[in-house]
A and B are shown apart, each in its own frame.
Chain A
Amino acid sequence: MASRIAEHPILGVQEKGKLVLFKFDGKEIEGFEGEPIAVSLKAQGLMVHRYTKKEHKPRGVFCAIGRCTDCVMIVDGVPNVRTCITPLREGMDVRTQYGVSDKPFE
């Protein structure tokens, strides 16, 4: 799966915040503090951020700059949080969004 770029020919080694733990659907995983939540998820190979309300279709990162709102998830209990522009903090509770809920569809 997609992974972090260790060294870039133009940008060199990119600086990151400290490595912290956060929760994805209840499971503890790692990410760098301050980077967008979506990046931490991508680094773990997690692609699906939510399932849509009507058709129950999977969605993930699409524009990565906070415009398209496809990457929204439930973060610390709040639905519709744009994970591509929301910085990761230690201990965050990030959940897959089903419609606007964190309960999977029947």
Chain B
Amino acid sequence: MGKVIDRNIDIGPFVPAPDDDMLICRCEEVTKGEIRKAVHDGMWTMTEIRRYLRSGMGLCQGQTCSRLVKGIVARELGVSPADLEPATARSPMRPIEMKIFGCEEVDA
């Protein structure tokens, strides 16, 4: 389980970095700079970051970027990635069309 990160710690101001334009979430096209800024805007959990930026909420559902985003957020907060609770795992685990998601098969 992730640790509860103390919200009172001072992580300092957002300092721009040369690789801020690096794309991290390939589906929703979210950059490293946007993720770092979001942390300074107060988004300290993986779930908050997801909701704020939509990173990991595109077609692939975070298959590729989750680990990368976690690393960036952890570094910004000065904690280990292992201390961060991953975003909530919920159905559907894979991209799925709403019309299928809503189509409950009744046993024949």
CB <8 Å contact, B59 and A69: yes
CB <8 Å contact, B59 and A72: yes
B60 contact from A53, A54, A55, A67, Cβ within 8 A: A67
Contacts of A62 on B, CB cut-off 8 Å?
26, 64
CB <8 Å contact, B29 and A68: no
Q: Give the distance to chain A from B52, nearest Cβ to Cβ, in Å.
A: 16
Count, A-B residue pairs, CB within 8 A: 27
CB <8 Å contact, B60 and A69: yes
Number of interface residues of A (CB under 8 A): 13
A55 contact from B27, B29, B64, Cβ within 8 A: B29
Q: Give the distance to chain A from B47, nearest Cβ to Cβ, in Å.
A: 22
Which of A55, A59, A67: most chain B CB closer than 10 A? Answer: A67
A53 CA / B59 CA spacing, docked (Å):
13
CB <8 Å contact, A70 and B26: yes
**Quick one: CB contact mask for A44-79 with B, threshold 8 Å, 1 for yes?**
000000001111000100110001111010000000
Known: A68-B64, A69-B95. A54 touches B59 (CB 8 A): no
CB <8 Å contact, A54 and B27: no
Which A residues are closer than 8 A to B by beta carbons?
A: 52-55, 59, 62-63, 67-70, 72, 80
CB-defined A-B contacts under 8 Å, sample of 8: A54-B29, A62-B26, A62-B64, A67-B60, A67-B63, A68-B64, A69-B27, A70-B60
